[in-house]
Every structure is written in structure tokens, then in C-alpha cells.
Amino acid sequence: MIKIAPLALLFSAVLFAGCTSAPDVPQAARSGKNVRIERMEHLGVVEEAYWHTEQTKDLTAGDDPVAPWVQGVARMSKTEFDRLFDAREWRPVSTEPIIPVDLKGKLDTGDSWFLGELEDGVYYLETDTRFVLFMVWP
């Protein structure tokens, strides 16, 4: 009887562990270097980017996917960044925008932020590092 007790305890622990759920792991963002991001062709070829689309972002139960949307961060080449910056009016903002937690820290940023809207969404540009945060919807 004494030898069976440790085995029963081990078996109970395995059953208990199998019944508990592990915390959800956020889905990895799509990424690329020297790429064009689908539906973001107006950014040109970006040096590095991390983004989600309605196909890559895990929606919680009950959420309806709103398609097509893209959300991400990118580092643009100097030429492409200057082209985008010069083509529109950008409003300076004093604080860093809220970057989605699964994209935060993917690329370094500075302190010179500008906000603007294009036909398809909202963009934050950081001029020191040529960083862009984009939130685009249909």
C-alpha cells in the first residue's frame, strides 16, 4: 500500500496538469526585410516590418473579423520615408503612440512623432528612425 501512494500521487498530478489550460500565447506577427507589405504598397519597399492582417490576428470568441485591415510597424528606407513625409501634411505629436503589445519593441523608435491620415487609415511617423506605425481599415 505504501508503494502505491507515490504512484497514485504522480498519476493525479498528471491528470490535473492535463485538465488545466495553458495561457494563450500571442500569435507572431508576420515579418520581413526589404519587402512590400500587402495592401501597403504606397510605403514602397520597407527595410524591416512586422504586421498583422485579419488572417494573422487571432480574434477572441464573438469578435467578427473586419476585413481587410492591416496593423503594423515598419522601418522605411530614407528615400521612401522622405517621399511619404513630403507628400502629406503631418501634425507633430508630443508623445509616442500606443503600439500594440505584440509589435512593441520590434523596432527602435525616437522622440520626433508626427500623426497623419491617408485615405485608408492612420499613420504615425517617427522622423529620427524612419519608423512608421500604421493602422489601416477598409
**Per-residue pLDDT tens digits for 37-65:** 887 888 899 999 999 876 555 545 455 55
Query: How far is residue 103's CA from residue 100's CA, in Å, rounded to a whole number?
Result: 5
Average pLDDT, the chain: 77
Among the listed residues 44, 53, 100, 50, the one whose alpha carbon sits nearest the alpha carbon of residue 76: 44
pTM beyond 0.75: the answer is: no
Mean pLDDT of 10-17: 39
The answer, yes or no, to whether the previous bond of 92 is cis (omega within 30 of 0) is no
The letter for the amino acid at 93 is V
